[in-house]
Amino acid sequence: MFDFNDIALFVQVVRYGSFSEAGRRLGMPPNTVSRRIQGLEDQLGSRLMQRSTRKLTLTDAGQGFYDRCTEAVDSLQQASQDLTAGRKVPSGLVRVASTANFLDFYTPAAAAAFLEEYPQVRLEFLLDDAMVDLIADRIDVAFRGGADSETGYIAHRMPVPPIALFASPDYVGKHGIPRTLAELARHRCLTMPHPSSRALWRLQGSDGVEEQVEVAGPFAAGNTRALHQAALAGLGIALLPSVVTVADIARGALVPVLPQYSRGNQSLCVVYPSHRQVSPAVKAFVTSVMRKFEQAFALHGP
């Protein structure tokens, strides 16, 4: 008779990529994990994975066994969680991945309010405009623009305010403000690095028609947080997510430029690692972030 716990353990070992990582997450010694998987292989009469010092590789038999077992294991885990989730208080560590400017929108003050409501939760942020490996980096939830379902499943896709043009009052006072999109070519624009030192901005006008303009400027950076800070410092006109400029506009640190132009139809995807069960703490945090985006979208309008 097969021990179905060993089958579930095999599925977790494949997902976490090693005996040691699976053992760490499941609270058992790696040699115990290895011994139980070997026992399962003996019962099946087939090698499921090849071991090496660096990684585990599934055999053809192991891949087929994993593909057939993983959905059943997930269904059992989900059924168990559904029975107990209503009684659980959100607690534990939530590791969050997002772009470098995420905390410009979901501010430390918002995080403080969330943690006051859920004092048993801890938050860790991995903020980088580059895509991260959700499994390898032990991420519980990621917030991405245009996320690909191949890296996980998308639980929510939320519309967000558009990307638009902003500059500081100091910049506008010194250099004026463009009256047409074409005039941006003569202004200092803050862009992502490009081999030609120029960037092509494509924006939609109020009539929904897309137009484009080639721009350049004295400052380029590889993430939007740096471009945001450069705009605040008066270095030029930046193309920024509207959600991160709300407080700056309210205190007069930034002003809209050519507000009839924007890059619309933006959305935010909430992505979880494939097949991982979502804890009450993660659900509570996602709900908190979604409320912030809903408030921002209501403020800006569709």
Q: Where are the domains of the chain?
A: 4-85, 92-157+267-300, 163-257
d(CA 130, CA 89): 33
Question: Could you check whether 92-157+267-300 and 163-257 share the same CATH topology?
Answer: yes
What pLDDT sits at residue 177? 93
- Lowest-confidence region among 40-54, 99-113, 187-201, 215-229: 40-54
What pLDDT sits at residue 68? 86
Instruction: Say which CATH topology domain 163-257 has.
Output: D-Maltodextrin-Binding Protein; domain 2 (3.40.190)
pLDDT digits (tens, 9 = 90+) for 127-162: 887 778 887 788 899 988 754 444 456 667 777 778
pLDDT(95) > 80: yes
Q: How confident is the model at residue 186 (pLDDT cuts 50, 70, 90)?
A: very high
pTM of the predicted model as reported, rounded to 2 decimal places: 0.59
pLDDT(6) > 50: yes
What pLDDT sits at residue 293? 75
What pLDDT sits at residue 149? 45
pLDDT digits (tens, 9 = 90+) for 32-56: 888 998 888 888 888 888 876 567 8
Task: Report which of residues 175 and 88 the model is more confident about.
Answer: 175
Q: How confident is the model at residue 5 (pLDDT cuts 50, 70, 90)?
A: confident
Strand pairing report for 141-144 and 92-98: parallel
Report the range out of 76-80, 208-212, 290-294 with the highest average pLDDT: 208-212
What pLDDT sits at residue 56? 80
CATH code of the domain occupying 4-85: 1.10.10.10
d(CA 102, CA 97): 9
Instruction: Say which CATH topology domain 92-157+267-300 has.
Output: D-Maltodextrin-Binding Protein; domain 2 (3.40.190)
Are 165 and 261 in contact, with CB atoms under 8 Å apart? yes
Could you count the other beta carbons within 10 Å of the beta carbon of residue 132?
16
Share of the chain above pLDDT 90, in %: 35
What pLDDT sits at residue 184? 95
pLDDT(85) > 60: no
